[in-house]
Amino acid sequence: MMYNFRNFTNVANFVFGQGSFNQLGAILKQRRKPTSAFFIFFVDDVFKGEALAQKIPLQGQDTIVWISAQEEPKTSTVDLITQQIHDDFNTLPTGVIGIGGGTLMDYAKAISLTLTNPGSSTQYQGLDLIKNKGVWCACIPTLSGTGAEVSMTAVLSGPEKKLGIKCDYTVPDQIILDPELTKGVPPHQRFYTGMDCYIHAVEALTGYCSNALGDAYGEKSLALCRDVFLNHENSYAPEVNEKLMIASYLGGLSLTYAQVGVCHALSYGLSHVLKYPHGIANCICLNQLEDYYGDAVSTFHQMVEQHQIPIPQHITKALPEEKLVALAKVAYDLDHMWLHALGKDWKAKMTLEKLVDLYARL
Amino acid sequence: MMYNFRNFTNVANFVFGQGSFNQLGAILKQRRKPTSAFFIFFVDDVFKGEALAQKIPLQGQDTIVWISAQEEPKTSTVDLITQQIHDDFNTLPTGVIGIGGGTLMDYAKAISLTLTNPGSSTQYQGLDLIKNKGVWCACIPTLSGTGAEVSMTAVLSGPEKKLGIKCDYTVPDQIILDPELTKGVPPHQRFYTGMDCYIHAVEALTGYCSNALGDAYGEKSLALCRDVFLNHENSYAPEVNEKLMIASYLGGLSLTYAQVGVCHALSYGLSHVLKYPHGIANCICLNQLEDYYGDAVSTFHQMVEQHQIPIPQHITKALPEEKLVALAKVAYDLDHMWLHALGKDWKAKMTLEKLVDLYARL
């Protein structure tokens, strides 16, 4: 019974409230005591020229790195930006701040670590491979659902695999949860990313690695998601934005204890091989996973219907067999997800052939 | 809109699971690097000679301070123990660990701070009066309900008032949530302290200072409390102990955003003037507060009935008028609770006379 439970690290500081983004300057000020202090902001490039960009409290050497979230976060981009920062500055930045959806927050979390851990980020994809604490890292979601603001994983696509850098040091030091920042998200993106949260809760609650604390978070996150996507005609009302942001946060916490499952494993393949963004890839997969997540899939269909969001179908119809096998291989390698979803004997229940069949349905 | 939201501090590290107390030694070991490192354990004296006491991982200069939880934590005891530690050791302890219910955890939280902040603890009762970070502090609840393991308050009774030391530094650095530790709690104590959690959720959700994040925690905590006390015949099943411990934790988090209300304000009077322990004082008050918490009080009556727990009544019947006034004055002074419970114009709704009447009902 000894040493069985991980001693988890929490986000150290958190602000929640409509308009709380305005407090970022005051929060950074407390860390600017040495005159050499400076911060690097990783910001989704959709905000270029927008009001949000004007509100970023730049001082002195502070730098904004604009990053597109069209593609999922990549190890190559992490390595490039890390090198650029080392080249451009004599010292490490005082901190990094990710402003955007999961992609931007994962970049901030990953680069915080690669700045203090030498070599390519690819060598750190996995559990507890990071040696040194990173630079101070803040995450500010502008899109609700991924839970990246609170999770201990920075998910990256590398040349060989899509896998997170997961360790205690990956957890951000500071988060600002300002539901106002999500006001301008286009409906389809809001839906796809919101479904990431819904799927986190469904998968966390349907598996072998859960425990009572993870379940408590997952259940509340699920209840909030259902409320947001089934009971509110105006999805952009401030109280709905609040609920979805909290659902995302609690969903991220539920994953501290449980894992994602079948849907995420399949979606990693779609993202890695076919470059589908994570949120829509998840929706494409869940849409066909009645066998695994029955009622939750029916509810998903109801949400899709109600919000009239297109979910692509037959996307693998024209793919050659070897592409299906490539997809299946990416999914099959995600042991930790299968272990949670199907149990210790998962290899008796899930095979490469079965995965090829599942992908052929999408 | 600027700087309106507090930048809250989280418990830095957390372990949850049946038997996780056994990991305390490993957790402390990481902080024992200097050979002079030592820890002070504040432990409920009911555990003297019990199995739990044998499992405390003592080394070198480590010391156990046994404290009775018969009386609520007092500023005088905090001051005495702080002085004793300064007298007995050449250096500050590496950390303090509170093992017990709310009383022991509040002592650990408070003494962690008074060790590094000079003078009597009475001068720090209030919000943000502490100047210096305390020594490292771990809390290990052996009784579920108070939420002290996660709250930013160390509630103390002083010569003049019962009021918490509340600031960012009061939040423990480490918690170990081991539901097994609550196996031996006597049924009435389990009930009274569990009701503290129930009342936290009810009060947090019924007031003016709540927000969506606090509500999410409060709603889940309330649902777990109702489940534990209404749906389980065997209150000591491991899964019930788990749920109650999580309810306590989430209830503590709900209070980060909201405040307690009428019931806690009245109960502070009973504890301060008549020395009733916090849990039972709350139950005595809630029992008569239909006017303020209608349905929640009906449910409370149902729980009392089901668990056959005696709730004292007519306790103020024989009291002279001046005692009733003394009780009313303690409650009336708790502005922050009334502000939450009744709104900004609370003085128009609640008077000393009305409080005297309320106390006369108990």
CB of A35 within 8 Å of a chain B CB? The answer is no
Helix (H, G, I), strand (E, B) or coil at B271: helix
pLDDT score, position B2 = 43
DSSP B52-110: HHHTS---TT-EEEEE--SS--BHHHHHHHHHHHHHH-SS--SEEEEEESHHHHHHHHH
Comparing CA positions, the residue from A208, A220, A199 lying closest to residue A265 is A199
* B1, B7, B23: residue with CB nearest A22: B1
- Show the low-confidence residues of chain B (pLDDT under 70): 1-3
Both tokens assigned to A105:
């927050």
Both tokens assigned to B357:
């009447």
**Sheet bearing A162-166, strands edge to edge:** A126-127, A162-166, A153-157
pLDDT at residue A33 is higher than 90: no
**Cβ <8 Å between B16 and A23:** no
The answer to whether residues B176 and B15 touch, using CB atoms and an 8 Å cutoff, is: yes
Burial class (CB in 10 A: 0-12, 13-18, 19+), A256: buried
**Nearest chain B residue (CA) to A11:** B10
The answer to whether residues A102 and A146 touch, using CB atoms and an 8 Å cutoff, is: yes
Q: Do domains B13-182 and B187-361 have the same CATH topology?
A: no
Residue type (1 letter), A169? Y
The arithmetic mean of pLDDT across residues A189-209, rounded, is: 95
What is the average pLDDT value for chain A, to the nearest integer?
95
Q: In three state form, how does the secondary structure of B312-329 look?
A: CCCCCCCCCHHHHHHHHH
Return the DSSP state at A74.
B
* Backbone phi, psi, residue B32, to 5°: -95, 20
Comparing CA positions, the residue from A99, A102, A96 lying closest to residue A134 is A96
pLDDT score, position A256 = 86
Distance of alpha carbon B58 from alpha carbon B62, whole angstroms: 6
Per residue in A42-58, pLDDT tens? Answer: 999 999 999 999 999 99
pTM, entire model: 0.95
**Cβ <8 Å between A7 and B1:** no
pLDDT at residue A3 is higher than 70: no
B156 membership: H or E segment, kind and range = strand B153-157
**Cβ <8 Å between B7 and A16:** no
Could you give the percent of chain A with pLDDT greater than 70? 99
Domain boundaries, chain A: 13-182, 187-361
**Sheet bearing B136-141, strands edge to edge:** A8-9, B13-16, B174-177, B136-141, B95-100, B39-44, B63-67
Residue type (1 letter), A93? P
**Nearest chain A residue (CA) to B28:** A7
Radius of gyration of chain B (CA): 20
| CB count in 10 Å sphere of residue A34 | 9
State the ipTM, two decimals: 0.93
When scoring B14, B224, B257 by the number of chain A Cβ atoms within 10 A, the one with the most, hence best to mutate, is B14
Q: Per CATH, which fold does A187-361 belong to? A: Dehydroquinate synthase-like, alpha domain (1.20.1090)
The arithmetic mean of pLDDT across residues A63-81, rounded, is: 96
CB of B10 within 8 Å of a chain A CB? The answer is yes
Distance of alpha carbon B143 from alpha carbon B150, whole angstroms: 14
* Backbone phi, psi, residue B165, to 5°: -85, 115
The answer to whether residues A207 and A265 touch, using CB atoms and an 8 Å cutoff, is: no
A152 membership: H or E segment, kind and range = none
Distance of alpha carbon B24 from alpha carbon B56, whole angstroms: 8
**Cα distances (angstroms) measured from residue A92 to each of A86, A175, B134, B230:** 7, 21, 29, 56
Query: Helix A262-274 crosses helix A187-205 at what angle (to 10 degrees)?
Result: 140
∠ Cα A231 A236 A241 (to 5°): 85
pLDDT at residue A11 is higher than 70: yes
Per residue in A105-115, pLDDT tens? Answer: 999 999 999 99
* A2, A177, A249: residue with CB nearest B22: A2
Q: How far is A168 from chain B (nearest CA, A)?
A: 10
Per residue in A114-162, pLDDT tens? Answer: 999 999 999 999 999 999 999 999 999 999 999 999 999 999 999 888 8
Comparing CA positions, the residue from A73, A60, A63 lying closest to residue A113 is A73
Strands B95-100 and B153-157: unpaired
Q: Per CATH, which fold does A13-182 belong to? A: Rossmann fold (3.40.50)
Q: Which residue carries 């039972």 as its tokens? A: B280
